[in-house]
Amino acid sequence: MKKLNVAMIGYQFMGRAHSNAWRQVGRFFDTPAEAVMKVVCGRNADGVEMAAAKLGWEESATSWEDVVARPDIDAIDICTPGDAHMPIAIAAAKAGKAILCEKPLANTLEEAEKMLAAAQQSGVPHMLCHNYRRAPAVALAKRMIDEGRIGRLHHYRGTYLQDWIVDPDFPRVWRLEKAKAGSGALGDIGSHSLDLARHLVGEITEVSGLLETFIGERPLPEGGGTGKVDVDDAALALVRFQNGAIGSIEGTRFAPGRKNYNRFEINGSKGSLAFDLERMNELQVYEENGPDSGFRTVLATDAAHPYVEAWWPPGHVLGYEHTFTHTVLDFLRSVDGGTTVTPNFEDGVANQRALDAIERSASSRRWESV
Amino acid sequence: MKKLNVAMIGYQFMGRAHSNAWRQVGRFFDTPAEAVMKVVCGRNADGVEMAAAKLGWEESATSWEDVVARPDIDAIDICTPGDAHMPIAIAAAKAGKAILCEKPLANTLEEAEKMLAAAQQSGVPHMLCHNYRRAPAVALAKRMIDEGRIGRLHHYRGTYLQDWIVDPDFPRVWRLEKAKAGSGALGDIGSHSLDLARHLVGEITEVSGLLETFIGERPLPEGGGTGKVDVDDAALALVRFQNGAIGSIEGTRFAPGRKNYNRFEINGSKGSLAFDLERMNELQVYEENGPDSGFRTVLATDAAHPYVEAWWPPGHVLGYEHTFTHTVLDFLRSVDGGTTVTPNFEDGVANQRALDAIERSASSRRWESV
Amino acid sequence: MKKLNVAMIGYQFMGRAHSNAWRQVGRFFDTPAEAVMKVVCGRNADGVEMAAAKLGWEESATSWEDVVARPDIDAIDICTPGDAHMPIAIAAAKAGKAILCEKPLANTLEEAEKMLAAAQQSGVPHMLCHNYRRAPAVALAKRMIDEGRIGRLHHYRGTYLQDWIVDPDFPRVWRLEKAKAGSGALGDIGSHSLDLARHLVGEITEVSGLLETFIGERPLPEGGGTGKVDVDDAALALVRFQNGAIGSIEGTRFAPGRKNYNRFEINGSKGSLAFDLERMNELQVYEENGPDSGFRTVLATDAAHPYVEAWWPPGHVLGYEHTFTHTVLDFLRSVDGGTTVTPNFEDGVANQRALDAIERSASSRRWESV
Amino acid sequence: MKKLNVAMIGYQFMGRAHSNAWRQVGRFFDTPAEAVMKVVCGRNADGVEMAAAKLGWEESATSWEDVVARPDIDAIDICTPGDAHMPIAIAAAKAGKAILCEKPLANTLEEAEKMLAAAQQSGVPHMLCHNYRRAPAVALAKRMIDEGRIGRLHHYRGTYLQDWIVDPDFPRVWRLEKAKAGSGALGDIGSHSLDLARHLVGEITEVSGLLETFIGERPLPEGGGTGKVDVDDAALALVRFQNGAIGSIEGTRFAPGRKNYNRFEINGSKGSLAFDLERMNELQVYEENGPDSGFRTVLATDAAHPYVEAWWPPGHVLGYEHTFTHTVLDFLRSVDGGTTVTPNFEDGVANQRALDAIERSASSRRWESV
């Protein structure tokens, strides 16, 4: 079998999830090429060496520039915080590597556009990791919509709720700093809602946004006083889609009891769909069929459901981690086949444009075009 | 026992629900006065006579002016479409009658303000029937919030979803005519979401609204061609509350499978609450208490829950209709005690101001103050 | 309209529920005869007089023998504890009255058989009030089964769980005395599970039963020491049906958090049905139709659903009380039409036979024929 | 790090699941020894060679006798159908290997007892893979019970429902042959319900069982006529526990829509617990605490929950497969520490005794002691 030599930059939460995907994909799926986990790269030599051993990479490295330049590397998987995405991606593109990049593509629209331009110029394969598109239940939703089973789409209602910073004593971590994280709930989780909106409903043309920071000052994680929170704690937006649908998008870290509540509901002329990541193996489906109709819980664990054939018998649920396994599977297929895969950097730019419009609207206090 | 002679104007859907409440309230609750169902009034003599017999009113009448003028009548219950609320209420106020009025208070803010002024000038008791405030589970939510169990409020998420006009062949009934209904989903169901928002969270200061009519032309109910739909099929708004909370409100008649899905979720600093009218005996409660916390389903059927003591043992659920029974109970108490009850015409005006701001915002395409 | 003069014996919990049904049935349904609430009867003169006023009966009385003998009375509604059912029913039968009797028909099989014999001899209309058959969602389940939509039936799984006597300090009330109550959880709530089993699946031929009393001694309600609990706290049975289906039935008062959890699940060759009284407006329906199948929640509030047309629009839920309203509706129709209605005294005897077999089996420790 | 050389016998469904667990355990947990996947063994040389490559074993082999005899092998993982468990386990015990054996321990009680005796005689570590004990939500249930949060236990209600053989045209596969499978739903899935009952509630002392085969003849999988089904399609039992609790256990393959519905509910004097494998990351918990109590959904994905610390942040769910990962983790710890782990062969014998008593009772038609 052909081999694809992969290097991963960054090894924290996302790095762990991506590593798992690279290790597992070939164990369950028939991949066109074998993903070889060549090298993981991080700034801390000891940390990255331990990560390599634990996560299954052959080597570790501390300079991403060197890694990107290695001729034996075929693909770069970018798992760093958002502020480092652009330089790595541009270098990787110039070096002719296939690129898989964690979301959001970049911290700003400008950066995202540069990344896309670089990838297009070099003609390298590029993919953005919005992993939730590849939960089988979400992929099933997409299939049903594409088959017209829901009819003409009227409504999208997306909320991504978490609760990890409700406590005012929770420290001012890097995700609460604009310089590093770009934005708060908007870019971190609202962007998932937005990506699913674009994936399932279509392009967004205009938005009315609201950003709010409930707690403006928090203890510094390293101790010694407090620091300013300059990102949003919560982000809401009304949106209009090109196809006439309307909707709302929300991300917040201030919803006690909602741990990872990435929920959407879509209403069409013939039915409705609803999904909640906390029950990620289920899709709620309503198809209008007279008075005995009702929302049904489709357990998306049947061999006929997207990606499921490779796994277990019906009713044996999958975990969060395999949204990444399915992502790298499609990345491998795309690289091998020379075909376009979505979401890619174009989607990253489109998402960033919408996020940017939400920020502009929150500031201008009026509807803004995307 | 004292008696309160009641006259009801209008006898359609709301008239049936109110009649039931008047008949039942004294059968279960110890009311301060006996409600005597004196007369029901409607324009069609035969229809109203039959309604009187079926619904339990002593007499029927066709002129509301005459009814309001009757010296033996103590209270007027207004159940007509919104365009008739103002003249009846003002006449009733001038005649010194206690007034219970169906929501929305009026079709326009101007009308609502005139009604409030009339009631205040005459000093008559006045109440607005936003019945869902008095579902036991909603009243329990209010109690929990007032007791501080949810903490400082951050988020309100209100949606009222129905699906009865998704079919483009559904006729252009009066509820789809601006002249009669005032507005569409906004005033009919969005106003419930809004009223619960004000009741549970607090005053709304500004809004960004979106109104949409998906199907602009429909068959006339009487046949013979089509007519224009000049009200909204769906209404959405982002809102800011005086107390710093933020939220969203939505009403739509285009959500297949959602029959009467009046849902809200409230997130505070210490917990969360969620309610869905289709499961109106349940309140979802989250109180943060370490890793074994979770949303729990409180079946609001315990004698200790608001209004429940008068009914059945725990686990024996109540129906929709008794949100009205509880409303007239509190109306009777208010009239008897000379005390203010909420929601009243002031709330009606406040609601109307918010609805008006949403309409203005949908048109100006920017945030508008309430 | 014709009139049916009704007398009710007993006015506690069941008396309140029946009274409500008698008052309400004509307000919503077109009944063939008007039910006139003539007289309510109880042993305590003051109590029953107050009850008459509160519940809407024209008169009160203290001697059921006198009431049953009154020539102006057409129907007797028996709402007393089980030990008084037989004498009243037999006297009523002899007096030629139509009889509606609360469940269980009697405290023993022997009593039940005598009641049935008396009713048959006199040829009077007779009905047993197993009200849950007439929750719209249950009636919908019955319709679906009868239409063959679930196919050949294989499994019935019935549990009726409550929690009101888990606390060992809960007093030894009459329901815990065999002399008055006949049995404990078995006859009180297990009998509902059993009746639904017979209604929905078919006749039971043999059973293996288990009865358990967890707390054998409790404080007397009147104070002054403790008294023996000589009924079951929990009752379980395996059952075999004539049609080849198998199942289980359970009633317990020791299930914390289950307030009125009368649940069943039925599995047939083509689908499954599930119902829970705590969500009594919903029927869970599974119809096998390929990999996208799933249990759907049918909100049994559509005009096309049994009994619903008389009530409110879709999504406006009904309460517990109207299972009785629908029962008296069908009683009125049966009396007027001279037709048989079910469940009736024959069902009462059949139920009692099955309960009796469970008791015998619990004692013999082997399967017993019904 | 120390190494533990593992050989796995059998490579079908369970072999895939166990292989995954061996591969993954060290990637997430700090194991006391590194599990080295030395050799996988199966009868078909080509099949097992392909399996070795796909599943990550260093070598493949076709003679389990040879594999068990290899001095470099430390542990034998038995994943064959039940009829082969005994010879392999006894040989492994004699060879001094640690043994992990899939459930049920054996096809008959006699075999199970021989396996236990062999393991005890040799003093080798032994473990039975009843993987569902190690779903975090189940382990959390166990912890809560052990901490006394549910109080004295009164009820266990276990059902394991599937639907894969409802269609009469489904072929007579090996699982429907007594000679190979030992029993049908009873041993395959009822045994899971039983094991959880023993794990969570305690030892079972007596049972009343019912076995049923709905479809006695099915097409042969290889074509050419039909074959007899001589195992049960469904198995039910009432059970009594040593500690006074009572319960029921059920396994069926005839429940349309239930794909892998391994559900239990436990009622104690202070609360209740409920679990459903189709939502395996959730535990339903009721703790009695006044009228605002309710069943709450604990999402068992917090670092404080059993096994979860090694995985993802709260709200990121785990899949079915990791019930095995946690099993091999505890097997590794047990082997390394020389400590007993449960469930082990003693539990296997105890389970088999209970299954045997159910079969005896189904035949004798009376209660049987375990």
- 3-state secondary structure (DSSP) of residue C353: helix
Q: Which of A149, A220, A231, A223 is nearest to A190 (CA)?
A: A231
Closest residue in chain B to residue C298, using alpha carbons only: B257
Residue B35 class from Cβ within 10 Å (0-12 exposed, 13-18 middle, 19+ buried)? Answer: buried
Q: Quick one: pLDDT at residue C7?
A: 98
Tell me which DSSP letter residue C366 carries: B
Contact A293 C295 (CB under 8 A): no
Contact B317 C280 (CB under 8 A): yes
Closest residue in chain C to residue B278, using alpha carbons only: C315
Contact yes or no for C190/C197 (Cβ under 8 A): no
Cα gap D7→D100, rounded to integer Å: 10
- The distance of B256 to chain A (nearest Cα, Å) reads 5
Q: Is the pLDDT of residue D224 over 90?
A: no
End-to-end CA distance of chain A: 44
**Bridge partners (DSSP) listed for residue B250:** B159, B236
Contact C297 A292 (CB under 8 A): no
Supply D184's token pair.
């049908």
Q: Quick one: pLDDT at residue A217?
A: 97
Q: What is the 3-state secondary structure (H, E, C) of chain D?
A: CEEEEEEEECCCHHHHHHHHHHHHHHHHCCCCEEEEEEEEECCCHHHHHHHHHHHCCCEEECCHHHHHHCCCCCEEEECCCHHHHHHHHHHHHHCCCEEEEECCCCCCHHHHHHHHHHHHHHCCCEEEECHHHHCHHHHHHHHHHHCCCCCCEEEEEEEEECCCCCCCCCCCCHHHCHHHHCCCHHHHHHHHHHHHHHHHCCCEEEEEEEEECCCCEEECCCCCCEEECCCCCEEEEEEEECCCCEEEEEEECCCCCCCCEEEEEEEECCEEEEEEHHHCCEEEEEECCCCCCCEEEEECCCCCCCCHHHCCCCCCCCCCCHHHHHHHHHHHHHHHHCCCCCCCHHHHHHHHHHHHHHHHHHHHCECEEC
Once rounded to an integer, what is the mean pLDDT over residues C275-279? 98
C-alpha to C-alpha distances, D233 to D165, D175, D176, D217, nearest whole angstrom:
8, 10, 8, 12
Q: pLDDT band at D355, cuts 50/70/90?
A: very high
C-alpha to C-alpha distances, D54 to A275, A325, D40, D76, nearest whole angstrom:
33, 16, 11, 20
Contact yes or no for B145/B200 (Cβ under 8 A): yes
Q: What are A's interface residues with B at a Cβ cutoff of 8 A?
A: 154-155, 157, 159, 161, 163, 166, 208, 210, 212, 214, 234, 236-238, 240, 244, 246, 248, 250, 252, 254-258, 265, 267-272, 286, 288, 293-295, 365-367
- Residues A276-325 pLDDT 10s: 999 999 999 999 999 999 999 999 999 999 999 999 999 999 999 999 99
Q: Is the pLDDT of residue B203 over 90?
A: yes
Contact D316 A320 (CB under 8 A): yes
Q: What percent of chain C has pLDDT over 70?
A: 100
Q: Quick one: pLDDT at residue B2?
A: 92
Amino acid of residue D320: Y
User: Strands A33-41 and A59-61, how do they pair?
Assistant: parallel
Closest residue in chain D to residue C266, using alpha carbons only: D255
Q: pLDDT band at A110, cuts 50/70/90?
A: very high
For tokens 């394969």, what's the residue?
A125
Cα gap C321→C134, rounded to integer Å: 11
What is the C-alpha R_g of chain D? 20
Closest residue in chain D to residue C162, using alpha carbons only: D267
- The distance of C145 to chain D (nearest Cα, Å) reads 14
Residue C358 class from Cβ within 10 Å (0-12 exposed, 13-18 middle, 19+ buried)? Answer: buried
Contact C288 D257 (CB under 8 A): yes
- The distance of D28 to chain A (nearest Cα, Å) reads 8
Q: Chain A partners of B367 at a C-beta cutoff of 8 Å?
A: 365-366
Q: pLDDT band at B224, cuts 50/70/90?
A: confident
Q: Is the pLDDT of residue D215 over 90?
A: yes
Q: Which of D149, D95, D101 is nearest to D124 (CA)?
A: D95
Q: pLDDT band at C345, cuts 50/70/90?
A: very high
pTM of the model: 0.97
CATH (one of 3.30.360.10, 3.40.50.300, 3.30.750.24, 3.40.50.280) for D136-279+281-316+340-369: 3.30.360.10
Once rounded to an integer, what is the mean pLDDT over residues B114-138? 98
C-alpha to C-alpha distances, A132 to A148, A250, C324, D118, nearest whole angstrom:
22, 16, 49, 50
Q: What is the 3-state secondary structure (H, E, C) of A283-335?
A: EEEEECCCCCCCEEEEECCCCCCCCHHHCCCCCCCCCCCHHHHHHHHHHHHHH
Supply A41's token pair.
């790269």
Contact A317 D56 (CB under 8 A): no
Contact D269 C366 (CB under 8 A): no
Phi, psi of D276 (to 5 degrees): -140, 120
Contact C267 D256 (CB under 8 A): yes
- Residues A347-361 pLDDT 10s: 999 999 999 999 999
Low-confidence winner among A263-267, B81-85, C111-115 (lowest mean pLDDT): B81-85
Q: What are B's interface residues with D at a Cβ cutoff of 8 A?
A: 140, 144, 285, 290-299, 302-305
Q: Is the pLDDT of residue C327 over 90?
A: yes
- Give the domain ranges of chain B: 2-132, 136-279+281-318+340-369
Contact A303 C291 (CB under 8 A): yes
Chains in contact with A, counting 3 or more C-beta pairs less than 8 Å apart as contact: B, C, D
Q: What are C's interface residues with D at a Cβ cutoff of 8 A?
A: 154-155, 157, 159, 161, 163, 166, 208, 210, 212, 214, 234, 236-238, 240, 244, 246, 248, 250, 252, 254-258, 265, 267-272, 286, 288, 293-295, 365-367
Strand ranges for chain C from DSSP E: 2-9, 33-41, 59-61, 75-78, 98-102, 126-129, 153-161, 204-212, 217-219, 226-228, 234-241, 246-252, 261-268, 271-276, 282-287, 295-299, 368-369
- Residues B270-310 pLDDT 10s: 999 999 999 999 999 999 999 999 999 999 999 999 999 99
What is the average pLDDT value for chain B, to the nearest integer? Answer: 97
Q: Which of D286, D290, D304 sits opposite B291 (nearest CB)?
A: D304
- Residues B76-100 pLDDT 10s: 999 999 999 999 999 999 999 999 9
User: Strands B33-41 and A234-241, how do they pair?
Assistant: unpaired
Q: Quick one: pLDDT at residue B223?
A: 87
Q: Which of B254, D290, C320 is nearest to A245 (CA)?
A: B254
**DSSP state string for A147-212:** TTSS-SEEEEEEEEE--TT-STTS---GGG-HHHHSSSHIIIIIHHHHHHHHHHT--EEEEEEEEE
Handedness of CA D319, D320, D323, D326 (dihedral sign): negative
Q: What percent of chain A has pLDDT over 70?
A: 100
Supply B347's token pair.
């709330």
Chains in contact with D, counting 3 or more C-beta pairs less than 8 Å apart as contact: A, B, C
**Bridge partners (DSSP) listed for residue B266:** B156, B273
Q: pLDDT band at D163, cuts 50/70/90?
A: very high
Q: Quick one: pLDDT at residue B1?
A: 80
Crossing angle (nearest 10°) for helices B85-94 and B109-122: 10
Contact D234 C154 (CB under 8 A): yes
Q: Is the pLDDT of residue C224 over 90?
A: no
Q: Chain A partners of C303 at a C-beta cutoff of 8 Å?
A: 291
Q: What percent of chain A has pLDDT over 90?
A: 97
Cα gap C139→C200, rounded to integer Å: 9
Q: Which of B143, D341, D5, B261 is nearest to A267 (CA)?
A: B261
Q: Which of C79, C72, C127, C69 is nearest to C99 (CA)?
A: C127
Q: Which of A144, A296, A305 sits opposite C295 (nearest CB)?
A: A296
Q: Which of C27, C164, C320 sits opposite B312 (nearest CB)?
A: C320
Q: Quick one: pLDDT at residue A1?
A: 80
**Bridge partners (DSSP) listed for residue D344:** none
Contact A299 C297 (CB under 8 A): no
Contact A305 C285 (CB under 8 A): no
Supply B364's token pair.
């100006």
C136-279+281-318+340-369 matches C2-132 in CATH topology:
no
CATH (one of 2.40.110.10, 3.40.190.290, 3.40.50.150, 3.40.50.720) for A2-132: 3.40.50.720
For tokens 């076709």, what's the residue?
D62
Once rounded to an integer, what is the mean pLDDT over residues A171-180? 94
Q: What percent of chain B has pLDDT over 90?
A: 97
Q: Quick one: pLDDT at residue C166?
A: 97
Q: Is the pLDDT of residue D66 over 90?
A: yes
Phi, psi of C82 (to 5 degrees): -60, -30
Q: Which of A78, A80, A79 is nearest to A118 (CA)?
A: A78
Region of residue D365 (left: phi > 0; alpha: psi -120 to 50; beta: else): left
- Count CA atoms within 13 Å of residue A9 on its CB side: 28
Contact C27 B56 (CB under 8 A): yes
Contact C319 B319 (CB under 8 A): yes
C-alpha to C-alpha distances, C162 to A329, C165, D157, nearest whole angstrom:
50, 8, 14
- The distance of C48 to chain B (nearest Cα, Å) reads 15
Q: Chain C partners of B259 at a C-beta cutoff of 8 Å?
A: 299, 301, 313-315
Q: Quick one: pLDDT at residue A340?
A: 95
Q: Quick one: pLDDT at residue A223?
A: 87
Q: Chain D partners of C248 at a C-beta cutoff of 8 Å?
A: 236, 248, 250
Q: pLDDT band at D124, cuts 50/70/90?
A: very high
Once rounded to an integer, what is the mean pLDDT over residues D281-289? 98
Cα gap B276→B289, rounded to integer Å: 24
Once rounded to an integer, what is the mean pLDDT over residues D160-183? 95
Contact yes or no for A318/A311 (Cβ under 8 A): yes
Once rounded to an integer, what is the mean pLDDT over residues B5-13? 97
Q: Is the pLDDT of residue C17 over 90?
A: yes
Cα gap A214→C369, rounded to integer Å: 69
For tokens 């989903």, what's the residue?
B185
Say whether domain C136-279+281-318+340-369 belongs to CATH 3.20.20.60: no
Cα gap D343→D119, rounded to integer Å: 14
Q: Which of C274, C272, C270, C246 is nearest to C261 (CA)?
A: C274
Low-confidence winner among A292-306, B175-189, D62-76 (lowest mean pLDDT): B175-189
Cα gap A335→A75, rounded to integer Å: 9
